[in-house]
Amino acid sequence: MSHFGGVAGVVFGGTVFGWVAPLIAFLVRGTTNANVRAHAVEALNFHITWAIANVVAWTVFACGSAITLGFGALFLWVLPLVTFLVPLIFGIIAGVRAAGDEFYRYPMSVKLIK
Protein backbone atom coordinates (compact mmCIF):
# COMPACT_ATOMS: atom_id res chain seq x y z
CA MET A 1 0.00 0.00 0.00
CA SER A 2 2.82 2.42 0.77
CA HIS A 3 4.49 2.29 -2.62
CA PHE A 4 1.56 1.84 -5.02
CA GLY A 5 -0.57 4.15 -2.88
CA GLY A 6 2.13 6.77 -3.28
CA VAL A 7 1.97 6.29 -7.05
CA ALA A 8 -1.81 6.75 -6.94
CA GLY A 9 -1.32 9.97 -4.99
CA VAL A 10 1.16 11.16 -7.59
CA VAL A 11 -1.20 10.41 -10.48
CA PHE A 12 -4.44 11.66 -8.95
CA GLY A 13 -2.99 14.39 -6.74
CA GLY A 14 -0.50 15.92 -9.14
CA THR A 15 2.60 14.72 -7.25
CA VAL A 16 1.73 16.78 -4.18
CA PHE A 17 -0.38 14.08 -2.49
CA GLY A 18 1.91 11.09 -3.01
CA TRP A 19 2.74 11.10 0.71
CA VAL A 20 -0.86 10.49 1.91
CA ALA A 21 -1.04 6.69 1.39
CA PRO A 22 2.39 6.03 2.96
CA LEU A 23 1.36 8.17 5.94
CA ILE A 24 -1.86 6.19 6.37
CA ALA A 25 0.06 2.89 6.19
CA PHE A 26 2.58 4.24 8.70
CA LEU A 27 -0.10 5.35 11.16
CA VAL A 28 -2.37 2.31 10.83
CA ARG A 29 0.06 -0.62 10.59
CA GLY A 30 3.47 0.93 11.27
CA THR A 31 3.23 0.51 15.03
CA THR A 32 2.47 -3.22 14.88
CA ASN A 33 4.56 -4.44 11.95
CA ALA A 34 8.24 -3.49 11.55
CA ASN A 35 8.27 -4.45 7.86
CA VAL A 36 5.29 -2.21 7.07
CA ARG A 37 6.90 0.59 9.08
CA ALA A 38 10.17 0.33 7.15
CA HIS A 39 8.42 0.43 3.77
CA ALA A 40 6.05 3.22 4.84
CA VAL A 41 8.85 5.41 6.22
CA GLU A 42 10.92 4.94 3.07
CA ALA A 43 7.96 5.78 0.80
CA LEU A 44 6.88 8.67 3.02
CA ASN A 45 10.32 10.30 2.98
CA PHE A 46 10.57 9.92 -0.79
CA HIS A 47 7.13 11.33 -1.57
CA ILE A 48 7.47 14.24 0.87
CA THR A 49 10.80 15.11 -0.76
CA TRP A 50 9.28 15.08 -4.24
CA ALA A 51 6.13 16.94 -3.16
CA ILE A 52 8.37 19.77 -1.95
CA ALA A 53 10.38 19.57 -5.18
CA ASN A 54 7.14 19.78 -7.17
CA VAL A 55 5.99 22.92 -5.38
CA VAL A 56 9.41 24.49 -5.98
CA ALA A 57 9.37 23.44 -9.65
CA TRP A 58 5.93 24.97 -10.26
CA THR A 59 6.99 28.16 -8.46
CA VAL A 60 10.13 28.47 -10.59
CA PHE A 61 8.07 27.72 -13.71
CA ALA A 62 5.45 30.36 -12.88
CA CYS A 63 7.91 33.05 -11.79
CA GLY A 64 10.28 32.34 -14.67
CA SER A 65 7.45 32.48 -17.16
CA ALA A 66 6.08 35.71 -15.70
CA ILE A 67 9.46 37.44 -15.54
CA THR A 68 10.32 36.52 -19.14
CA LEU A 69 6.81 37.30 -20.42
CA GLY A 70 6.17 33.66 -21.26
CA PHE A 71 9.46 32.82 -22.96
CA GLY A 72 10.73 31.03 -19.85
CA ALA A 73 7.93 28.51 -20.25
CA LEU A 74 9.67 27.21 -23.38
CA PHE A 75 12.48 25.86 -21.20
CA LEU A 76 11.08 25.61 -17.68
CA TRP A 77 8.21 23.20 -18.51
CA VAL A 78 10.69 20.36 -17.95
CA LEU A 79 10.89 21.00 -14.18
CA PRO A 80 7.27 20.10 -13.31
CA LEU A 81 7.41 17.18 -15.74
CA VAL A 82 10.47 15.73 -13.99
CA THR A 83 8.89 16.15 -10.55
CA PHE A 84 5.91 14.16 -11.83
CA LEU A 85 7.78 11.37 -13.63
CA VAL A 86 10.47 10.61 -11.03
CA PRO A 87 8.10 9.68 -8.17
CA LEU A 88 5.84 7.85 -10.60
CA ILE A 89 8.62 5.66 -12.00
CA PHE A 90 10.44 4.99 -8.74
CA GLY A 91 7.16 4.37 -6.90
CA ILE A 92 6.25 1.66 -9.40
CA ILE A 93 9.71 0.10 -9.11
CA ALA A 94 9.43 0.13 -5.31
CA GLY A 95 5.96 -1.41 -5.39
CA VAL A 96 7.09 -4.24 -7.64
CA ARG A 97 10.11 -4.92 -5.44
CA ALA A 98 8.01 -4.82 -2.26
CA ALA A 99 5.51 -7.24 -3.79
CA GLY A 100 8.43 -9.64 -4.20
CA ASP A 101 9.32 -9.35 -0.47
CA GLU A 102 12.33 -7.15 -1.19
CA PHE A 103 13.07 -3.89 0.61
CA TYR A 104 13.59 -0.99 -1.79
CA ARG A 105 15.57 2.09 -0.85
CA TYR A 106 14.48 5.09 -2.89
CA PRO A 107 17.17 7.24 -4.52
CA MET A 108 17.03 11.04 -4.29
CA SER A 109 15.19 11.05 -0.98
CA VAL A 110 15.76 13.19 2.11
CA LYS A 111 15.39 11.23 5.36
CA LEU A 112 12.88 13.39 7.23
CA ILE A 113 11.25 10.59 9.23
CA LYS A 114 13.27 7.86 10.89
* Domain regions of the chain by residue span: 2-98
Give the model's pLDDT for residue 37.
Answer: 93
- pTM reported for the whole predicted model: 0.90
Give the model's pLDDT for residue 114.
Answer: 85
Inter-residue contact 51 to 15 (CB < 8 Å)? yes
* One-character DSSP codes across 69-83: TTTTHHHHTHHHHHH
How do the pLDDT tens digits run along the chain, 114 residues long? Answer: 788 999 999 999 888 889 999 999 999 998 899 999 999 999 999 999 999 999 999 999 999 999 999 898 999 999 999 999 999 999 999 999 999 999 999 999 999 988
